Structure 1
Amino acid sequence: MTALQTLARAMIAISLLLAGSISTAADIPDATVLDPNYREQTFGDYTVHFSTFNSAFVPPGVAEIYGITRARNQILVNISLTKTEGGETSLGLPAKVTGTARNLLQQQRVLEFAEINEGNATYYLAALKHTNEEVYNFTISVAPDDAEQTEAQPMTVKFSRKLYLGETE
């Protein structure tokens, strides 16, 4: 094999690698997907609200009551479901919440949501450990508890967040 043939094969190999990189880059969320102001999605009368925050921000007394581990490398994914009828919006409703978080290396973690019931409002929290400036793509499915009676379909929201290490006291 001549040097020219070797060079040509190397260039083809590099081109194929770059083409693979370009298609992978499409999986990286753009700035609008990472928009921290994107916090809710409406499905007819229902709205799914979602947010993430560092577990170190939870006051120690509150963390103890709800069994939350405070750590600078752990966030809480917060999900709630509301319904608007006749111009009135409910507080968080009971629901079945499931979800996954996938980082840019495509490592997926199943989120385990705990129900938090505060009288008239119900919401769901799941813990997720992360490294600094790690991007996660979340897929969350929410079905109202009365879905069988109302024939409501599960609602799926997808969002991405860049996560940062929090400060501890």
Structure 2
Amino acid sequence: MKRILTAIAAAAMLLWAASAAAQEAKVIKSHQDFGDYRVVYSVFNSEFIKPEVAQRYNLVRAEDRVFVNVSVVMKEGGKKGLSSEMSGTATNLIQQSRPLEFIEVSEGDAVYYLAPLRFDHEETLTFNVDVKLPDGNTEQISFRRKLDKD
């Protein structure tokens, strides 16, 4: 009986540890801090852009396209994006690299940068972006995302 209880307790501990690891693995980092600045980044399907915004900035909306979105804000209380400069690449798992060409989007007093990108079904890309901060320093962010048309 003691062995059965020990086995049950061990199994429960393993399930708890696996659950905790799975919860931690779901956290996807979406920003990086550099001094007083925070660089916030994301990748989203181009169809999330409103048609009127796409038309204003000549952005193509399609199932096989995403936008890499990067903005720079003040780390403390920064809600609006600041003017910066961006350049970068997207590299797939077999090391094929494509340039990211960012355009500046201004809405009200917020500024952010979008780089359109076409992708294949279920493609995993590593994004390397050089960001020139408002203080003149250049920093690099790097992140990986799995893109899917579904």
| Aligned residue in 1 for 2:69 | 78
Gaps of 5+ in 2: 1-21
Partner of residue 115 from structure 2, selected from 105, 122, 126: 126
Higher relative contact order (CA 8 A, sep 6+): 1
Question: 1:49 Cα shift?
Answer: 0.3
1:137 and 2:126 are equivalent in the alignment: yes
| Aligned residue in 2 for 1:154 | 138
Deviations 1:101-127 (A, max 9, x none): 000111101100000011311100001
1:42 and 2:37 are equivalent in the alignment: no
Gaps of 5+ in 1: 1-30, 148-152
> What is the SS of the residue equivalent to 1:88?
coil
| Aligned residue in 2 for 1:150 | none
> What is the SS of the residue equivalent to 2:47?
helix
Distance 1:158 1:146, change over 3 A: same
> What is the SS of the residue equivalent to 2:120?
coil
How many residue pairs match? The answer is: 127
1:111 and 2:111 are equivalent in the alignment: no
Partner of residue 92 from structure 1, selected from 39, 60, 81: 81
Percent identical among aligned pairs is 41
* Cα distance in 2 between the residues matched to 1:154 and 1:80: 14
Partner of residue 44 from structure 2, selected from 53, 58, 62: 53
Question: 1:88 Cα shift?
Answer: 3.2
Equivalent AA in structure 2 for residue 117 of structure 1 = S
Consecutive aligned runs of 4 or more in structure 1 exceeding 3 Å deviation: none
TM-score normalised to structure 2 length = 0.78
| Aligned residue in 1 for 2:8 | none
* Cα distance in 1 between the residues matched to 2:100 and 2:26: 21
* Cα distance in 2 between the residues matched to 1:37 and 1:48: 15
> What is the SS of the residue equivalent to 2:53?
helix
Deviations 1:21-53 (A, max 9, x none): xxxxxxxxxx9xx96721100111111000000
> What is the SS of the residue equivalent to 1:89?
coil
* Cα distance in 2 between the residues matched to 1:135 and 1:154: 26
